[in-house]
Structure 1
Amino acid sequence: MTERLVRCVFGLFLFAAGITLLIRAELGAAPWDVFHTGVSELTGIGVGTIIVAVGVALLLLWIPLRVRPGLGTVLNAVLIGVFVDLLMPIVPEFEPLLPRVVMMLGGVVVIAIGSGFYIGAGLGPGPRDGLMTGLAELTLAGRPISVRVARTVVELSALAVGVALGGAIGVGTAVFAVGVGPLVQLFLPPLTMPKPSADPTPPPAPAVPEGP
Structure 2
Amino acid sequence: MAKGLFWLCFSVLLNAFGNALTIKAAFGSAPWTAASINISYATGLTVGTVLVMMGSIVLIADDLLRRRWNGIKDIFNFLYMLSFGYLIDFWLFALQTFTISGWIVRIGVCVSGILCIAAALSIYFQVNLVLHPFDDLLKILREQYLHGNVVRAQRISLGIPLAIGLTISLFRHQFVGINLGTVISFLCMGYFILLFDHYIHLHINRDALTHWHRQHAFHRLKHSKA
What TM bracket, shorter-length normalisation?
Answer: 0.7 to 0.9
1:116 corresponds to 2:127: no
- For residues 136-188 of structure 1, what are the alpha-carbon distances to aligned partners after superposition, in whole Å with 9 as ceiling and x for unaligned? 3444xxx7473321221121121011121124111111122233211111223
**What is the CA distance between 1:42 and its match in structure 2?**
1.4
Contact 1:115-1:188 within 8 A present in 2 as well: no
Give unmatched runs, 5+ long, in structure 2. Answer: 170-175, 212-226
Which residue of 171, 191, 194 corresponds with 2:180?
171
Match for residue 152 of structure 2? 149
Matches for 1:63-78 after TM superposition, within 5 Å: 63-64=63-64, 65=66, 66=68, 68=70, 69=73, 73-78=77-82
> Which residue does the alignment assign to 1:56?
56
Q: Secondary structure at the match of 1:93?
A: coil
**Within 2, Cα distance between the matches of 1:97 and 1:72?**
39
1:171-209 superposed Cα distances (whole Å, 9 cap, x missing partner):
11112223321111122353443421669xxxxxxxxxx
Larger Rg: 1
Task: State the alpha-carbon separation in 1 of the partners of residues 69 and 192 from structure 2.
Answer: 27
Matched positions, count? 196
Structure 1 counterpart SS, 2:100: coil
TM-score normalised according to structure 1 size = 0.83
- Residue 105 (str. 1) matches residue 104 (str. 2): no
* Residue 87 of structure 1, CA deviation: 0.8
The residue aligned with 2:2 is 2
After TM superposition, give the deviation of residue 70 of structure 1 in Å. 6.2
Q: What are the ranges of 5 or more consecutive residues in structure 1 without an aligned counterpart?
A: 200-212
The correspondence of residues 193-204 of structure 1 with structure 2, limited to 5 A, is 193-196=204-207
Q: Which has the higher helix share?
A: 2
The 8 Å contact of residues 36 and 50 in structure 2, kept in 1 or not, is answered as yes
Question: What SS is found at the alignment partner of 1:150?
Answer: helix
User: Relative to 1, partners in 2 of residues 1:74 and 1:58: Cα closer, same or farther, differing over 3 Å?
Assistant: same
Partner of 1:11: 11
Q: Aligned AA for 2:59?
A: L
1:186 maps to: 195
Could you say which residue in structure 2 is the equivalent of 1:88?
92
Q: How does 1:21-40 map to 2 (within 5 A)?
A: 21-40=21-40
SS of the aligned residue for 2:38 comes to: helix
Deviation of residue 124 (structure 1)?
Answer: 2.4
The worse-fitting range, judged by mean Cα deviation, of 82-91 and 185-194 is 185-194
Percent identical pairs in the alignment equals 24
C-alpha deviations, 1:52-106, integer Å up to 9, x for none? Answer: 1111221112222147336762343111111111111222231222221211110
